[in-house]
């Protein structure tokens, strides 16, 4: 009985002891939490202290220093970054120097008399020795010389004639063929020459486009002025075929018209003669080759250089014309570069006429 009382008393004692311990621990933890809350959140009765303002900087005249500028950037993010000093890097100017023209790759182009030219090749010149309609040696010679100047950055457009295959003015009236139909046949002949010349040029690596005055979508592009100019800017050779697309107009007139439209600086007329003579060299062996001529001299003396419509169009648009011999090697590149060759009409030998 005494042993059971001792055991029961010890159990009661331990239970009360654990209860007191737990109560004391809970009270101590609650007090510590309250003190932590007060220290972290602050007392509700205490007011927030104002932030100290920076003192103004006063410089005396003796301690004045040169002004310095700080470029600061602000951010909308929650984290406020410290002030950063920015040192902007100088940007290189993309503008070309004054008087220097740049190509598509941004490289300076060489300075030549003309930068964009229109080469007029007659159909008779393509025939060569007249044994066949088109002489492959002539077309290859043209392609090689044009390739040499296009690599210098000069933009070249070409207008081809069709007299080596069919000349409308000569066939008009034959077998009831009217002039308009005959001229349309002649336009188709120029397309044949243009396709042949394009194939020759592309065989030696010259990117070439043929544009016709009327639609022939299966074989060539239609003539669009902006597209033609863009081809030239990309270094491609553009061949204009089918004349103006209208009867009663020669390919010389088409050359003058296309030259004015694409803003070319000169018409280079490649023929079978060395230039313009004061008399017919076939009748007078003493005929003198003329170096320069004015538009008025051509029209007043009725020189058979180009038809009057073409000469008048060149005169109204201040387009000089160079007449030279296609059969002499190197003449095409010389004419395109602006070197002295053949006869110059409406310009000077030293500089080109300013376009208006």
Is 297 among the domain residues?
yes
Among residues 340, 352, 325, the alpha carbon closest in space to that of 142 is found at 325
Q: Could you tell me which residue, 58 or 303, shows the higher pLDDT?
A: 303
Is 80 among the domain residues?
no
Residue 103 pLDDT? 53
Is 295 among the domain residues?
yes
Is 285 among the domain residues?
yes
Is 31 among the domain residues?
no
Residues of the domain holding 208 = 118-345
pLDDT tens, residue by residue, 100-139: 445 554 545 556 789 999 999 999 889 888 788 999 999 9
Is 171 among the domain residues?
yes
Is 16 among the domain residues?
no
Residue 305 pLDDT? 85
CATH number of residue 239's parent domain: 3.40.1160.10
pTM: 0.68
Confidence at 338, pLDDT banded by 50, 70, 90: confident
Is 34 among the domain residues?
no
| Total number of domains constituting the chain | 1
Q: Could you tell me which residue, 127 or 259, shows the higher pLDDT?
A: 259
pLDDT tens, residue by residue, 53-97: 655 554 444 555 555 544 444 444 444 444 444 444 444 434 443
């Amino acid at each position: 009985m005494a042993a059971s009382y001792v055991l029961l008393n010890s159990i009661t004692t331990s239970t009360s002891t654990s209860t007191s311990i737990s109560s004391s621990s809970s009270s101590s933890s609650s007090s510590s939490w309250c003190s932590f809350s007060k220290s972290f959140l602050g007392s509700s009765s205490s007011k927030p202290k104002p932030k100290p303002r920076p003192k103004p900087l006063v410089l005396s005249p003796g301690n004045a220093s040169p002004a310095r500028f700080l470029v600061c950037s602000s951010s909308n993010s929650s984290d406020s970054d410290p002030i950063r000093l920015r040192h902007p890097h100088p940007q290189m100017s993309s503008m070309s120097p004054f008087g220097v023209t740049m190509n598509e790759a941004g490289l300076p182009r060489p300075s030549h008399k003309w930068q964009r030219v229109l080469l007029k090749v007659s159909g008779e010149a393509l025939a060569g020795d007249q044994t066949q309609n088109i002489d492959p040696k002539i077309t290859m010679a043209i392609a090689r010389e044009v390739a040499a100047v296009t690599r210098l950055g000069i933009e070249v457009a070409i207008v081809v004639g069709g007299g080596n295959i069919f000349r409308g003015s000569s066939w008009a009236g034959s077998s009831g063929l009217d002039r308009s139909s005959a001229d349309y046949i002649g336009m188709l002949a120029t397309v044949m020459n243009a396709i042949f010349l394009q194939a020759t040029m592309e065989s030696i690596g010259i990117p070439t486009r043929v544009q016709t005055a009327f639609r022939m979508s299966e074989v060539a592009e239609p003539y669009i002025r902006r597209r033609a100019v863009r081809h030239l800017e990309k270094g491609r050779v553009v061949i204009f075929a089918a004349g103006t697309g209208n009867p009663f107009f020669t390919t010389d007139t088409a050359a003058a018209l296309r030259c004015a439209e694409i803003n070319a600086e000169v018409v280079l007329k490649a023929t079978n003669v060395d230039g313009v003579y004061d008399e017919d060299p076939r009748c007078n062996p003493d005929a003198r080759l003329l170096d320069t001529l004015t538009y008025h001299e051509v029209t007043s003396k009725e020189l058979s250089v180009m038809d009057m419509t073409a000469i008048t169009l060149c005169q109204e648009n201040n387009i000089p014309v160079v007449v030279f011999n296609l059969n002499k090697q190197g003449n095409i590149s010389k004419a395109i570069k602006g070197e002295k060759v053949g006869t110059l009409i409406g310009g000077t030998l030293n500089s080109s006429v300013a376009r208006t």
